[in-house]
Amino acid sequence: MVKTIGNSSDPSTIVALLKEGEEWISKKKGELLFDFQNEHQLFTSFANGIQQIHVSGTEQLLGKLFEEIGFHTIDDDLLKKLVIAHLCFPVSKLKTIDFLNKYHGIDVAVDRIYRYLDKLNKTQKGAVQKISYEHTVKILNNHISMVFYDVMTLYFEIDDEDDLRKTGFSKDGKHQHPQIVLGLLVSVNGYPLAYDIFEGNKFEGYTMLPVINSFKKSYGLNKLVIVADAGLLSNENIEQLISQGYEYIIGARIKSESKLIKEKILSLKLKNGDSAIVQKEDDTQLVISYSDARAKKDKANREKGLLKLEKQIKAGRLTKTHINNKGYNKYLKLEGEVNVSIDKTKAKIDEQWDGLKGYVTNAKLTKEEIIENYGYLWKIEKAFRISKTDLKIRPIFHRLQRRIEAHILYRICCLQNI
């Protein structure tokens, strides 16, 4: 409300007040009278008169962040434009061109983008990772001792394999599609530190040491504690981590431990929030924790899985070929020659493991610190979720390996800016 002229219920007075108000408005410099009677026509006229839309807020906000990280030292303004565009509008390269032209008045050919990304990957990959590392070091006050490693699979909408894109275990359930494996190393706050890509059929456990060793060598780091989930757990990995002087915290598969260790774990009788240390035969430690919330979740998931199996059995969709250790199929058993049923005894036995979580470690930390630091793995999982969804890192439609590598590098730049 700028000014009140008056009020009345008398029609003639209302007309007079409207006229007085219009006269007052017309005296105000720069003010235009808005005709509410023809607002649609005015809006149409206004929209038709727009020659160009220019967005400046993203440049000021994300552009400043881009420079604070240090990516502006890579001497090409196109990287900044591409990263900002992808953060605002994560789409294909062709649609990115439309976005830049429509909202920023930038006219760039798709061939130039591809040539630039080829150049970026060929000559600046090390610089991008170094900038990411130095930015993270600055945030962490020059202290990096705990790093977190995980992998994701990225599939391709193609039928045939090549040297890099191969069918393998897909975390997305896209087992029929060739894929690559991306290994990502991040800091305690979730910032990318290093990455590499591997053949799609490579066991994820074999990707960890190459990425970590390369990272350690590149920046002359001495002591590192490696945190990874149970998918990276193997005797070979443990032996190599120990032989190369690393401390580690890796998720344990406690139900796969030896009979003696399992008996020790179950004898602990832990209550909500309790934890304990079990010494393994190979002199490594197994930290065990218990949570009521985790127990509730474990029970709910098992009951949901069993209910699904029961429905499939009643529908006649399960045969003896489905009896395996994949997921909840481990609860299936064969009665007679062909009848498949649920092994309720096995399901009952598994109840005693509800709420228990294990961590294999040689780190010189308290059990509480072990559990706390392992819990930070959700940040790398969050980074992957952002990459998969918000940044649309997949699916990938590139064919040439150098383009695939450039695509990943480009997305890593975007991820660092979030």
The number of CA neighbours under 13 Å toward the Cβ of 57 is 2
Q: Assess whether pLDDT exceeds 60 at residue 388.
A: no
- Range name among 38-52, 188-202, 226-240 with the lowest pLDDT average: 38-52
pLDDT tens sequence across 57-76? 677 788 888 888 888 888 77
DSSP 318: -
Average pLDDT score over the chain: 83
Q: Assess whether pLDDT exceeds 70 at residue 314.
A: yes
pLDDT grade, residue 370 (50/70/90)? very high
Looking at residue 352, its pLDDT comes to 95
Query: What is the full DSSP assignment across 345-369?
Result: HHHHHHGGGTTEEEEEE--SS-HHH
Say if residues 87 and 417 touch (Cβ distance below 8 Å): yes
pLDDT tens sequence across 86-134? 888 777 778 888 888 887 778 888 888 888 888 888 888 888 889 988 9
Q: What percent of the chain has pLDDT over 90?
A: 27
Looking at residue 395, its pLDDT comes to 58
pLDDT tens sequence across 78-94? 888 888 888 887 777 78
Say if residues 209 and 229 touch (Cβ distance below 8 Å): no
Count CB-CB contacts under 10 A for residue 383. Answer: 23
The residue with greater pLDDT, 411 or 342, is: 342
The number of CA neighbours under 13 Å toward the Cβ of 52 is 13
Q: How far apart are CA 148 and CA 165, in angstroms?
A: 25
Stretch 13-20: mean pLDDT, rounded?
A: 84
Extract the tokens encoding 229: 């989930």
Domain boundary assignment for the chain? 47-212+376-418, 294-353
Looking at residue 391, its pLDDT comes to 45
CA distances from 180 to 202, 391, 407 (A): 9, 18, 12
Of the ranges 33-37, 186-190, 336-340, 363-367, the best mean pLDDT one: 363-367
Looking at residue 51, its pLDDT comes to 67
- E strands present in 230-307: 247-251, 275-279, 285-290
